[in-house]
């Protein structure tokens, strides 16, 4: 891979993928809607060219994909738009990949798996989504698999890390950075899984560099499960944070959903805070190598440092 296109480059995983590719000396086109944000994130990186574009404008993606060996799809849209628009923009990406001859590496979540019944989820785990958003993600996956584009799909748990602003842990860390009372989404006693975005970026770039990885799904877990209480303790130990941390319950989100369409959609996915889906990474380690795994302590420290530095 000499050149790559990263869609959603101003988001959490997209940002880390751009940085990982650049670190390896690969020329990157960083694609997002807002040029000022792209310039702020990548202005000092000589391996990165920014491209202001709209994922719903197929020609924008085609133009950005010219000369790219791999397209990394890390863009997302708000929940309320998924039903009408998610398949549309994936269709635009597939068309651009076909025209440019690029391979496709897709950042995906765990929604399509549905409930896991407490088992670690391997790639052959039956996908039986019980939510609307899970069914939409599965439809998009089928769209990719039924195309003639050489593609791989990487499933990740919830993100946290530098610039990962659309994540539930970022919501908690905002309060910490401001030294105000923080809020944690879900029962703080339940253990669930998160992945540090630079680790996820390393893993998907490793996959994209391996020709045998295409045509397959890959599960990329974090370093392990952890409870909210444990996360808060790490934050207190590493950041001298002494404020209280409140719990956001499902009923609280349901109430907010009366006024906020995004919160209405969040309620459906709240089961992940109560019945966590935990990924099994044995396939990756068997065929690709050791998974990148940064400790929660170090990952949280780096994330908080980044958030403080950008002010």
- State the pTM of this model: 0.96
Which residues on neighbouring strands pair with residue 50, listed in sequence order? Answer: 30
* Mean pLDDT of the region 74-83: 91
Quick check: 311 pLDDT over 70?
Answer: no
What is the C-alpha separation between 188 and 140, in angstroms, rounded?
A: 32
Domains of the chain listed by start with CATH number: 3-163+194-223+278-293 (3.40.50.720), 168-189+226-273 (no CATH)
- pLDDT of the residue at 264: 78
CA dist 269 and 117 (Å) reads 16
Query: With contact defined as beta carbons under 8 Å apart, do 266 and 186 qualify?
Result: no
Q: What is d(CA 69, CA 96) in angstroms, rounded to the nearest whole number?
A: 12
Per-residue pLDDT tens over the stretch 250-285: 888 887 777 777 777 788 888 888 899 999 999 999
pLDDT > 70 in the chain, percent: 99
Residue range 202-223: mean pLDDT, rounded: 97
> What pLDDT score does 222 carry?
95
Kindly tell me if the per-residue pLDDT of 203 is higher than 70.
yes
Give the pLDDT mean for 145-166.
96
Buried b (16+ CB within 10 A) or exposed e, 211-230: eebbeebbbbbbbeebbbee
């Amino acid at each position: 891979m000499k050149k790559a296109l990263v869609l959603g480059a101003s988001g959490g995983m997209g940002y880390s993928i751009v940085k990982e590719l650049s670190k390896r000396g690969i020329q990157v086109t960083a694609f997002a809607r807002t040029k000022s944000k792209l310039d702020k994130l990548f202005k000092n990186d000589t391996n990165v060219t920014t491209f202001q574009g709209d994922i719903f404008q197929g020609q924008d993606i085609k133009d950005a994909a010219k000369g790219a060996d791999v397209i990394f799809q890390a863009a997302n849209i708000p929940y309320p738009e998924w039903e009408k628009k998610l398949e549309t923009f994936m269709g635009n990406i597939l068309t651009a990949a076909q025209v440019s001859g690029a391979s496709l590496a897709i950042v995906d979540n765990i929604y399509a798996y549905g409930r896991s019944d407490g088992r670690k989820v391997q790639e052959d785990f039956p996908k039986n989504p019980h939510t609307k958003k899970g069914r939409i993600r599965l439809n998009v996956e089928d769209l990719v698999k039924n195309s003639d584009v050489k593609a791989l799909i990487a499933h990740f748990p919830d993100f946290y890390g530098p610039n990962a602003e659309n994540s539930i842990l970022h919501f908690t860390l905002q309060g910490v950075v401001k030294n105000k009372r923080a809020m944690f989404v879900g029962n703080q006693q339940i253990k669930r899984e998160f992945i540090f975005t630079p680790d996820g970026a390393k893993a998907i770039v490793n996959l994209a560099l391996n020709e045998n990885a295409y045509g397959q799904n890959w599960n990329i877990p974090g370093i392990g499960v952890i409870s909210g209480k444990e996360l808060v303790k790490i934050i207190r130990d590493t950041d001298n944070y002494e404020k209280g941390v409140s719990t956001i319950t499902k009923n609280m989100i349901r109430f907010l959903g009366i006024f906020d369409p995004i919160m209405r959609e969040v309620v459906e996915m709240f089961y992940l805070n109560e019945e966590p889906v935990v990924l099994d990474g044995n396939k990756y380690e068997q065929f690709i190598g050791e998974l990148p795994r940064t400790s929660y302590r170090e990952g949280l420290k780096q994330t908080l440092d980044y958030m403080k530095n950008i002010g």
